């Protein structure tokens, strides 16, 4: 019996109930054989204790092997492969050719530096595939394992007509991520079903290449899906690490099925978004050099990245003091969105800053009528940004009109609107008459609503 067979028996056969019964039977048989001999040296009470301890030790050892699930290391990405096999030969091939190839690919890419592959024991894999609720079993297991990604299924060898003996590998997947919307979760599930085939089959005589090719498919699916899960869980750096170079790796499969082409074509868009969020992190941490670097990388990957152009506009204005370039970047963003209108706030602000009040008021009218999902957050951010700007640029009195307008028409904050418009009228320059006409009318409405007296001009 070689080492592989011993390992197979220890890991796969030992947790079976029949192994527990055989073990207890062997212990009892041994006790009968040595009982008379032992009676010469120890008392009945001591012998009973020894026998009980031995039996309980065996039961404890079997229970440990039967029920203990592996643990994913805390700081690493856990990748669990749970493939049920019907016999020892299939199990050995699975470990040697499939798991071996998977580990090799991850190791060559440096992914094993921050992740680990866990090959689940056969009896756990059987529980999953035989369950009416596999997801429920996986969720239960993952409370102990704490992994991030599961590929589960089974491998069978069957005769397939005239073609002879074939291996059939069935795959399904399960990904762990932070709580997200139902729509986004469903989108990830759809991607999963596209990138991970439900079945792969190959002739037994080509089993080595078949298992290795299957491992390659799982390898790419794992990188894609874990990357997506990392991104929606606010870890764009891990997502970028996994997605970099993935498009080229998909291209090694020829011909590439249409559903995989769709996934492949989405990779540059994902990478661009990941680069954008990293750029945003650098900006929030005052690393302007890195912010510019990652914004440019994001735009290079996907010139249509709405968020990247908006962030570039902010850098153009607040760092480079280049108002015209900031307007160009904002107009670029405008061309790449249909349902978000943050760009209008940018553009209106820039026109106010340039003292182009006609265009600024035109945009104000559109902002007054528009509505989108996160607009409330945008308005609060715009107010905070403008108040900070006014601290360093107190001569930009027109910005009090701008935030007063948003307080009145978007936030419905009558107190802030009164305060902002009054401040504007107190400080307004002579070239701001077009704004003063508007603010005076708004102040009349506000004071009437608040039932306070009208100030004499």
Closest by CA to 203, choosing from 157, 240, 172, is 157
Q: How far apart are CA 95 and CA 213, in angstroms?
A: 14
Identify whether the C-beta of residue 232 lies closer than 8 Å to the C-beta of residue 177. Answer: yes
Listed as ranges, residues in the chain with pLDDT below 50 are 456-457
**Per-residue pLDDT, 34:** 81
313-322 pLDDT, tens per residue? Answer: 999 999 999 9
What is the CA angle 224-229-234, rounded to 5? 125
Identify whether the C-beta of residue 211 lies closer than 8 Å to the C-beta of residue 94. Answer: yes
Label the pairing between strands 77-85 and 115-119: parallel
Class at the top of the CATH hierarchy for domain 339-450: mainly alpha
412-435 pLDDT, tens per residue? Answer: 999 999 999 999 999 999 999 999
Cα→Cα distances 411→369, 377, 405, 417, Å: 13, 10, 9, 9
Q: How far apart are CA 194 and CA 174, in angstroms?
A: 13
Cα→Cα distances 50→26, 43, 55, 58, 81, Å: 15, 11, 9, 12, 41
Q: How far apart are CA 117 and CA 102, in angstroms?
A: 9
**Per-residue pLDDT, 457:** 45
330-340 pLDDT, tens per residue? Answer: 999 999 887 88
Identify whether the C-beta of residue 194 lies closer than 8 Å to the C-beta of residue 123. Answer: no
* The two three-digit tokens of residue 388, written as one number: 């900070």
Residue 178: is it exposed, middle or buried by C-beta count within 10 angstroms (0-12/13-18/19+)? exposed
Label the pairing between strands 165-175 and 77-85: unpaired
HEC-encoded secondary structure of the chain: CCHHHHHHHHHHHCCCHHHHHHHHHHHHHHHHHHHHHHHCCCCHHHHHHHHHHHHHHHHHHHHHHHHCCCCCCCCCEEEEEEEEECCHHHHHHHHHHHHHHHHHHHHHCCHHHCEEEEECCHHHHHHHHHCCCHHHHHHHHHHHHCCCEEEEEEEEEEECHHHCEEEEEEEEEEECCCCCCHHHHHHHHHHHHHHCCCEEEEEHHHHHHHHHHHHHHHHHHHHHHHHHHHHHCCCHHHHHHHHCCHHHHHCCCCCCCHHHHHHHHHHHHHHHHHHHHHHHHHHHCCCHHHHHHHHHHHHHHCCCCHHHHHHHHHHHHHCCCCHHHHHHHHHHHHCCCCCCCHHHHHHHHHHHHCCCHHHHHHHHHHHHHCCCCCHHHHHHHHHHHHHHHHHHCCCCCHHHHHHHHHHHHCCCCHHHHHHHHHHHHHHCCHHHHHHHHHHHHHHHHHHHHHCCCCCCC
**Per-residue pLDDT, 408:** 96
Q: How far apart are CA 204 and CA 206, in angstroms?
A: 5
**Per-residue pLDDT, 357:** 97
**Per-residue pLDDT, 309:** 97
HEC-encoded secondary structure of 285-296: CCCHHHHHHHHH
Identify whether the C-beta of residue 114 lies closer than 8 Å to the C-beta of residue 181. Answer: no
Cα→Cα distances 291→178, 303, 314, Å: 26, 17, 11
How many Cβ atoms are within 10 Å of 365's Cβ, its own excluded? 10
Identify whether the C-beta of residue 145 lies closer than 8 Å to the C-beta of residue 72. Answer: yes
Q: How far apart are CA 329 and CA 306, in angstroms?
A: 10
Identify whether the C-beta of residue 335 lies closer than 8 Å to the C-beta of residue 303. Answer: no
What is the CA angle 320-343-349, rounded to 5? 60
Per domain, the residue ranges of the chain are 3-67, 77-243, 339-450
């Amino acid at each position: 019996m070689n080492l592989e067979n011993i390992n197979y028996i220890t890991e796969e056969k030992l947790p079976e109930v029949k192994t527990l019964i055989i073990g207890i039977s062997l212990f009892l048989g041994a006790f009968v054989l040595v009982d008379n001999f032992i009676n010469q040296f120890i008392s009945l009470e001591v012998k009973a204790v020894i026998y009980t301890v031995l039996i309980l030790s065996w039961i404890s050892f079997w229970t440990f092997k039967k029920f203990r699930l592996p643990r994913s290391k805390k700081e690493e990405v856990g990748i669990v492969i749970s493939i049920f096999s019907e016999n020892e030969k299939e199990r050995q091939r699975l470990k040697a050719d499939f798991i071996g190839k998977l580990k090799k690919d991850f190791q060559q890419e440096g992914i094993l530096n921050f992740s680990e592959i866990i090959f689940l024991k056969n009896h756990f894999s059987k529980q999953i595939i035989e369950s009416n609720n596999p997801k429920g079993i996986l969720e239960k297991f993952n409370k102990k394992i704490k992994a991030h990604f599961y590929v589960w299924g089974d491998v069978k060898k069957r005769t397939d007509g005239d073609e002879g003996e074939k291996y059939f590998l069935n795959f399904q997947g399960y990904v762990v991520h932070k709580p997200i919307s139902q729509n986004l979760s469903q989108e990830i599930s759809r991607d999963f079903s596209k990138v991970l085939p439900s079945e792969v089959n190959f002739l037994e005589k080509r089993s080595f290449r078949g298992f290795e090719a299957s491992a390659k498919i799982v390898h790419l699916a794992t990188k894609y899906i874990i990357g997506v899960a990392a991104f929606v869980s606010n870890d764009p750096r891990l997502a970028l690490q996994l997605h970099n170079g993935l498009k080229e790796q998909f291209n090694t499969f020829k011909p590439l099925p249409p559903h995989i082409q769709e996934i492949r074509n989405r990779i540059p868009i994902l990478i661009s978004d990941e680069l954008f969020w990293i750029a945003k992190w650098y900006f929030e941490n005052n690393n302007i050099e890195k912010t510019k670097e990652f914004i440019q990388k994001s735009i290079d990957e996907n010139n249509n990245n709405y968020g990247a152009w908006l962030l570039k506009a902010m850098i153009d204005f607040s760092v480079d003091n280049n108002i015209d370039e900031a307007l160009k970047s904002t107009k670029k963003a405008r061309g790449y969105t249909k349902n978000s209108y943050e760009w209008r706030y940018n553009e209106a602000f820039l026109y106010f800053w340039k003292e182009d009040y006609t265009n600024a008021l035109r945009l104000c009218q559109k902002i007054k009528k528009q509505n989108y999902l996160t607009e409330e957050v945008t308005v609060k951010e715009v107010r905070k940004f403008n108040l900070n700007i006014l601290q360093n640029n107190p001569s930009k009195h027109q910005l009090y009109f701008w935030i007063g307008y948003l307080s009145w028409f978007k936030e419905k904050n009558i107190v802030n609107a009164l305060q902002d418009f009054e401040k504007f009228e107190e400080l307004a320059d002579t070239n701001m008459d077009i704004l003063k006409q508007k603010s005076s009318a708004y102040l009349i409405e506000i004071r009437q609503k608040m039932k306070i007296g009208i100030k004499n001009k």
